[in-house]
A and B are shown apart, each in its own frame.
Chain A
Amino acid sequence: MSAEYQPNIVAFLCNWCSYAGADLAGTSRTNYPSNLNVIRVMCSGRVNPLFVVNALQQGADGVLVSGCHPGDCHYMEGNFYARRRFGMMKELLEYVGVEPGRFNMSWVSASEGAKWKDVVGEVVDKAKEAGPFKQFRRDKINW
């Protein structure tokens, strides 16, 4: 086993596009890193920014939110709201000193198994570069 650092990444995938896209990557036997812990949500617009903060607190080294391409949302406009929300959230996280590579967002459709592989590769590379997240990890402080 290699001693290389393996980041722990939490991915919130929308049910209709990104989850299906990741599924396609799997059924097509695409090889991609296994650092992701996928949480399926109904829409990227359902992801609360607190989920991101909480994931980082509880042990994630990186977070990915992925949804349908703009215009393709199953709920018409959920990903438009998510885009605004996380555009600001990313800025805020970076402003308090979270490395830029830790929070990522992507659009992956149900047919984009190959894009999913690239996205995962990029997210994992960025998280590896940033190293283990310690900034506000919830650990046993004064327990």
Chain B
Amino acid sequence: MVDVAKLKEIARETVSRDDVKYLIGWRQGTFGFRAAPHFVNKPEDVDQLIFSPLCSHNLATYLTGVEKLPVPRGQEADSRKVALMVKGCDSRAVVLQLVEQGYGRDSVVVIGCPCQGVVDQKKVEAKYPDMGENITAEWGEKTIIFNLPSGKTEVPREEVLAGKCLTCRYPNPLLADAGAWEEVAVWGSDDYADVQDLEAGNPQERRAFWEDKFASCIRCYACRNVCPMCYCEDCILDRLNPQWITRAVNPTENTAFHLSRAFHLAGRCIECGECERVCPVDIPLMKLNRKLTKEVRENYDYEPGLDPEAKPLQASYRPNDKEDFIL
């Protein structure tokens, strides 16, 4: 459990440090069950910080997503640290970014927040539609408590938690410099039932399933941009020469886009579920990512983002890797 008051205290101390540029946390959103990323530049902004079941955003994406302007002559680049609040899954993103040398360990201050699961906006909005007012939430014992206008309402967590949280095996941050917490118990286990459902079908069924989903893609690239592991400065999707995937939005290119996006995350997806959360047309992207996660776990006994010393999956090999598929 996290003591939010104490967390704020830590945040205030961190932001006051001279070597910290800003802190990234969460604040209550502008309507309904939404929360929003909160950039704390001054100690007084700390008051708005929250940590609740609404904090689904994986803030690690902001560590690599900064657009840097050229430093004017005579000035020095700002090399101060960035402080970041992380849940269990977010911490795996930080670990993997460190493994892949996205930045150095001393350029980030990680504040750990053990997480008992975040709500799925779509589930909760279907359950309580038309909530214009801002609604806060908190964790109960195996429940989520919403402060609705009609009063406190306690909901079993299975009903509103995001899919990734129901199978979460790493609710506690794996990497933290500070934090006001006791570890929460791991409640989930993962049998990849969603992936197995689809695997059980024949190729035609799987094809029909994905063709329908990919057809709805509008190629807004929210899934790419929100992904903490998608941080190439020069993405193949933006390149014109060679243009692997054209900008035309049709089933062919959409399929190629989704295959390449998923494959770029093979052995790198830390299962924060952000891609699926942000998709405006609700493509079940985690079902695609988790297929690869499952293969990676089963065949290569590898899970990304657990060990800062481990080599990335695709940059390493074992002589006895699986090769039953080779003719």
Chain A residues at the B interface, C-beta cutoff of 8 Å: 49-50, 53-54, 57, 70-71, 77, 80-81, 83-100, 104-107, 119, 122-123, 135-139, 141-142
Contacts and interface: CB of A to CB of B under 8 A. Distances in A.
Contact of A90 (B208, B251, B317, B325): B325
A70 B320 CA distance: 9
Interface residues of B, number: 45
Nearest to A96: B210
19 contacts: A49-B260, A49-B263, A50-B236, A50-B244, A54-B256, A57-B256, A77-B317, A80-B321, A83-B322, A87-B322, A87-B323, A90-B325, A93-B259, A96-B206, A96-B207, A97-B209, A136-B252, A141-B252, A142-B250
A83 B325 CA distance: 9
A136 B323 contact: no
Contacts of A88: 263, 266-267, 292, 295-296
Q: Which of A85, A87, A122, A137 has the most CB of B within 10 A?
A: A87
A111 to B, nearest CB: 17
Interface string B190-206: 00000000110001111
A92 B250 contact: no
A101 to B, nearest CB: 10
Nearest to A104: B327
Contacts of A70: 319, 323
Given A96-B258, A138-B253, 9 more contacts: A81-B317, A84-B300, A88-B263, A88-B296, A92-B292, A95-B199, A96-B255, A97-B203, A105-B327
